[in-house]
Amino acid sequence: MSTISTDTHQHAGPHDADHGHHHPPAGFKRWFYTTNHKDIGTLYLLFALTMFFIGGLMAMVIRAELFQPGLQLVQPDFFNQMTTVHGLIMVFGAVMPAFTGLANWLIPMMIGAPDMALPRMNNWSFWILPFAFAILLMSLFMEGGGPGFGWTFYAPLSTKYSGDSTALFVFSVHIMGISSIMGAINVIVTIFNLRAPGMTWMKMPLFVWTWLITAFLLIAVMPVLAGTVTMVLTDKYFGTSFFDAAGGGDPVLFQHIFWFFGHPEVYIMILPAFGIVSSIVPTFSRKPLFGYASMVYATSSIALLSFLVWAHHMFTTGMPVFAELFFMYCTMLIAVPTGVKVFNWVATMWRGALTFEVPMMFAIAFIVLFTIGGFSGLMLAITPADFQYHDTYFVVAHFHYVLVTGAIFSIIAAAYYWLPKWTGHMYDETLGQWHFWCSLISVNLLFFPMHFVGLAGMPRRIPDYALQFADFNALISIGGFAFGLSQLLFLWVIVKCINGGKPATNQVWEGAEGLEWQLTSPPPYHSFTTPPDVK
Amino acid sequence: MANTMYHRCSLLALLCVDSAIAAEMPLNMTRGVTEISQKVYDLHMTIFYICCAIGLVVFGAMFWSILHHRKAKGVQPAQFHESTKVELLWTAIPVVILVLMAIPATRTLIAMEDTSKSEVTVLVTGSQWKWHYKYLEYPVEYYSLLATPAKQIQNKLRKNENYLLEVDRPLVIPTGKKVRFLMTSDDVIHSWWVPAFAVKKDANPGFINEAWTQVDQPGTYRGQCAELCGKDHGFMPIVVVAKTPEDFDSWIRAEGERLAKLKAAEQELLSMQMSMTDAMAMGEKVYQGYCAACHQPTGTGLPGVFPALKGSKMATETGRKSEHIQIVLNGKAGTAMQAFGKQLSLQEIAAVITYERNAWDNNTGDLVQAADIQAAKNGQKE
Amino acid sequence: MQAPDHLPLLRKLLIITVLMFGFGFALVPLYDVFCDLTGLNGKTSTMAATADRAIKDQQRTITIEFLAKPDPKMPWRFEPEIRQIQVHPGEIKVVHYAAENPTSALMVAQAVPSVSPGQAALYFNKMECFCFQRQTLKAGEKLMMPLQFYVDPALPEQFSTITLSYTMYDVTQHSPAATGAAVYQTGK
């Protein structure tokens, strides 16, 4: 399959001297040895899509079991493995690689660079990922089963009360971490060193800014995750007592160290989404992004604040009041820069000339639904109320709103937005609209009632529940199956688009701004080998 | 477009429903039965209304834009793209709103964390997968286990009203008095949560946490474990019965006497021998209630997860009888096998081990007595 | 145009990565220090306190509650001599915990304390505690283990009850004292 045109004879930009005699190898060799940012971007995106379906399958198992009270399909032990691996796959296998794929494809083109700064490390960053996930998925087939302690793997459940799949889990997470760190380093060096002359910091597209900040967050906290899983490994197998009271340790220490990584991690999973929405909304409003500078500052403040709020995941652990208050106030504060961003998007739309192609539909849905997720987040920040929300489906509703209708919708929007550029074909707009509406309705049927069952008292991570939760759970499960099926439409759109469709112009979208829209659709295998002029 | 309409409609619907009614439908948090739970509910609703209001304004503006600022209407796009004044405004206003939210939140939190001057203290210990309650002022302590029959969970029997929210021995507390809870755990982190009290506190192994409540009305209040603790995290509910102080006093006195009698009886039973028939009968009952969930009524277990007892070397070789007793008494670290030594009486343990060593063609002929279990507890080899 | 040199930046970023990995581990002692300073998790000091700040305050009375929890896999009998005591801040008191090893083998145990409310832990000063070292009991041996303490008069106003709980863990297999002697197996 070739998503990239190797036709080097059509370019609108300045004549590139050396790309006439280079054709990439074909087949397995091309993809396995590639150092090309477009190829690697494609690999990441296809990998993320595959993992999205695998993680989605696990969600279907979960929702099938939760369709009715009673245990029908799976045993509680296996159910815990499904929730654990579903979470790990979606976080580390779908969302993060998808954003990295977008970074790879777009950042060099957006800043006028020929490729990422460290192309060979780029290849490694990708290829260790399938290896890591193969290990994780294989652990499900071990005797004793796979990891069943939640993606948050609290000690001592994960240390003294787990099976040997924990070792594979740790190994797998280490590899994922290395991949992310290498990717982040690559992004930073690329943006720092390879911007075309004239592409000053405050001229960079917001997608580049948000990824730059995300990359710094990644190198700050992924190593802490590596430390955390290492401590779990040594507590389990090498006699340390980091988290064991008998040896002078403290299980709550685990939670502090984990969430020190964990909270910035969720911002890692949303900042690039903000960048995507900030690219799409101005295009379809035919109006510049409102408040570019404050968007940059808001993103930076969110990143900085994200280091100060980790214990809002731990309000019930028995912290003293002054600590609870500190974390409550800091968490509430994050709502301010986040709100600023939402207002700026709406202000961008205000008095624009809007059209509603599929990328714009997903972007608008993002703004509304992510904000709903933000509201439930604000409610969760209020410590006394959190005592009633913590570890219930209210939290599950919150993070699925920000991650599915937030991050995932932004990734889907990005796919629709840039597929014409990447493939040279327009996607099928009708099919895309069907995908949008089916997804929108089913995703809300799936996640909105979770607020209710959570408030009504249903805890998280349980395979069976009391009768008063039955009706809503049935609805939720139906929404889940519908949402899963709707994504097959997305798959169809992508396959169809790669294989053909109305030829795309360079500009593709009437209101699109940015260097990538100066290139052909599809762009040359090596683009901007000579830096463009930036006005 | 439709999503904003939908969102606004559902918000309006919720707003229109009177708060009192909203609290009764399974749509919302409970008001609960304590002063604190009521405060928490009020906080929750206040924040919710503020979020709704902000949502209406922001989505309203966006919706307006979607309707009126469309290219199809022939509008020309404006080109403004910044305004420091506006940015400052919509930074400052949210800050003010947040401060206004933080004040009642701070007050409620400080009240919730003040455990001083309590009159009754209960030590709550979580373990896989049950709760243990010990009254510090009275000689009463006991385990509290899920009472829902396995057949209901397996969909072989109709589920009753309090499915998964019922226990064999609920915690009993007096109304009108401040009750303090000390939480800890014997193994992994659990969390004790009763929504009606707005009390949720993690039970950390090796550490104690405190919480308190004061219930005004007598009644039965149900909660669940709120921290993933392994296989049966969803099957270790909490039931608290609040009685008037007089009823509580008579209950606790009767309970104390009952437990003292049981203890005395157990010591007597040590010298008695149970017949094989009696042991098998009692053993089967205990097995079905405590062991069959994992090891299956047929003794075949779940390959790779829960070992089979039928035909297992440990349950059929005479030399391994003491090992069998040890595992039932102390559990197996790193696995889901709990320690039953403190949960079951010596006689029950002796009976269930006898059953496991003779049922399903295991046929060892071994008859284990309560005295053997006592000896094993004391580490004496036979 | 010459390709820029990525090495300096790359070096800096790798150093940050390594430092953050170390930071993750540094959080462990940092947490202990922070807890020592604030009593965050109710852990008390593992070192004996001196009587420096033992200035009696007759006006105030604090209730100290004593709890004991042998770990369920642990056969020892372990309980406080008295359930609670009234003390004045600054007053030095001695209480005992009774421990008995009912098995037929030598065992070694470690008591781990926890104080609630957490912040009060800072002000609970143990001058002598059986939790400072491992306790070895021979088969059938009984022991009354002392705890000498005082409450720092600087204890904030709002605390009038302090609960001290000990969990007793079996550490026989980790103890050099036990090698050679018959070791009780707790079924692990």
Q: How many domains does chain A have?
A: 1
Among B28, B43, B113, select the one facing A321 at the smallest CB separation. Answer: B113
Q: CATH number of the domain at B91, please.
A: 1.10.287
**Residue A318 near residue C118 (C-beta atoms within 8 A):** yes
The DSSP annotation for A215-273 comes to HHHHHHHHHHHHHHHHHHHHHHHS---TT-GGGT--HHHHHHHHHHHHHHHHHHTTHHH
In a domain, B382, yes or no: no
Query: Which residues are CB-neighbours of B126 under 8 A, at least 6 positions away?
Result: B132, B183, B184, B185, B186, B190, B191, B192, B203, B225, B229, B236
Task: Provide the whole-model pTM.
Answer: 0.91
Q: Using CA coordinates, name the residue in chain C closest to A243.
A: C28
Same domain, B257 and B288: no
Q: In this structure, is residue B284 part of a structural domain?
A: yes
Provide the pairing of β-strand C107-116 with C135-137: antiparallel
**CATH value at residue A387:** 1.20.210.10
Pick from B116, B184, B339: CB nearest C69: B184
Same domain, B233 and B150: yes
- Whether A7 is in a domain gets the answer no
Give me the half-sphere count of Cα atoms (radius 13 Å) on the Cβ side of residue A347: 21
Which one of C40, C101, C161, C183 makes the best mutation probe of the B interface by having the most chain B beta carbons within 10 Å? C161
Counting other chains too, the contacts that B251-255 makes at CB distance below 8 Å and 24 or more residues apart are B251/B172, B252/B135, B252/B138, B252/B140, B252/B172, B255/B138, B255/B140, B255/B142, B255/B172
Do residues A174 and A226 lie in contact, with contact meaning Cβ atoms separated by under 8 Å?
Answer: yes
Which residues form the domain of B24? Answer: 2-112
| Smallest Cα distance from C176 to chain B, Å | 21
How far apart (Å, rounded) are the C-alpha atoms in residues A366 and A407? 8
Element (H, E) at C99: strand C93-100
For residue C26, give every residue at least 6 positions away whose Cβ sits within 8 Å of its Cβ, in sequence order, or none.
none
Name residue C145's beta-bridge partners.
C97
- Residue A309 falls inside a structural domain: yes
The answer on B355 and B218 residing in a single domain is no
* CATH number of B186's domain: 2.60.40.420
- The Cα C166–Cα C74 span in angstroms is 13
**Looking at the domain assignment, is residue A364 inside a domain?**
yes
Q: Residue A175 in 3-state DSSP? A: helix
Q: What are phi and psi of A233, to 5 degrees?
A: -60, -45
> Using the beta-carbon criterion (under 8 Å), do C105 and B136 form an inter-chain contact?
no
Side chain identity at residue A203, one-letter code = K
Distance CA C76, CA B377 (A): 10
Predicted local confidence at residue A309, as pLDDT: 96
Residue ranges in chain A modelled with pLDDT below 50 = 1-21
Residues B135 and B253 in one domain: yes
Write out chain C's pLDDT in tens, 188 residues: 457 899 999 999 999 999 999 999 999 999 888 877 776 666 776 667 777 666 777 788 999 999 998 777 778 889 999 999 999 998 899 999 999 988 888 889 999 999 988 888 888 999 999 998 899 999 889 999 999 999 988 898 888 899 999 999 888 877 665 444 433 433 33
User: Which of the residues of A are catalytic?
Assistant: 86, 115, 151, 179-180, 263, 265, 267, 278, 312-313, 338, 341, 460
Q: Report pLDDT digits (tens) over C89-117.
A: 988 999 999 999 888 888 899 999 999 88
**Which has the closest alpha carbon to A286: A512, A8, A27?**
A512
Residue where a domain stops, chosen among B266, B294, B321: B266
How far is it, in rounded angstroms, from Cα A411 to Cα A359? Answer: 10
Q: In this structure, which amino acid lies at residue A510? A: E
| Most C CBs within 10 Å, among B127, B207, B374, to test the C interface | B207
Asked whether residue B126 falls in the same domain as residue B252, the answer is yes
> Domain range for residue A312?
39-518
Q: In this complex, is the C-beta atom of A117 within 8 Å of any C-beta atom belonging to chain C?
A: yes
**A422: phi then psi, degrees, rounded to nearest 5:** -70, -40
Sign of CA dihedral A433, A435, A438, A441: negative
Domain assignment of residue A483, yes or no: yes
Q: Is B27 on the interface with A (CB under 8 A)?
A: yes
Q: What is the pLDDT of residue B10?
A: 54
Say what the pLDDT of residue A5 is. Answer: 41
Q: Has residue A531 been placed in a domain? A: no
Ordered mean pLDDT values, 10 residues apiece, chain B (382 residues): 50 48 65 95 96 96 96 91 93 95 94 88 94 94 93 93 96 97 95 97 94 95 97 96 97 95 81 87 89 87 83 89 89 75 88 93 89 79 36
- Is residue B197 helix, strand or coil? helix
Domains, chain C, ordered by start: 9-38 (no CATH), 51-174 (2.60.370.10)
**pLDDT given at position A480:** 98
**Is residue B259 a part of any domain in this protein?**
yes
CATH code assigned at B332: 1.10.760.10
Instruction: Examine residue A533 and state whether it is found in any structural domain, yes or no.
Output: no
Distance CA C185, CA B69 (A): 78
pLDDT for B296 = 86
Minimum-distance CB partner of A388 among B40, B65, B234: B40
- Res C39: pLDDT: 65
Assess whether B47 and B151 both reside in one domain. Answer: no
Indicate the pairing of strand B219-225 with strand B190-194.
antiparallel
**Within-domain flag for B289:** yes
Cβ atoms within 10 A of the Cβ of A127, count? 17
Count structural domains, chain B: 3
**Domain boundary residue among B112, B132, B163?**
B112
Query: Which of B228, B247, B266 is the C-terminal boundary of a domain?
Result: B266
In this structure, are B278 and B350 located in the same domain? yes
Q: Clarify whether residues B106 and B133 are in a common domain.
A: no
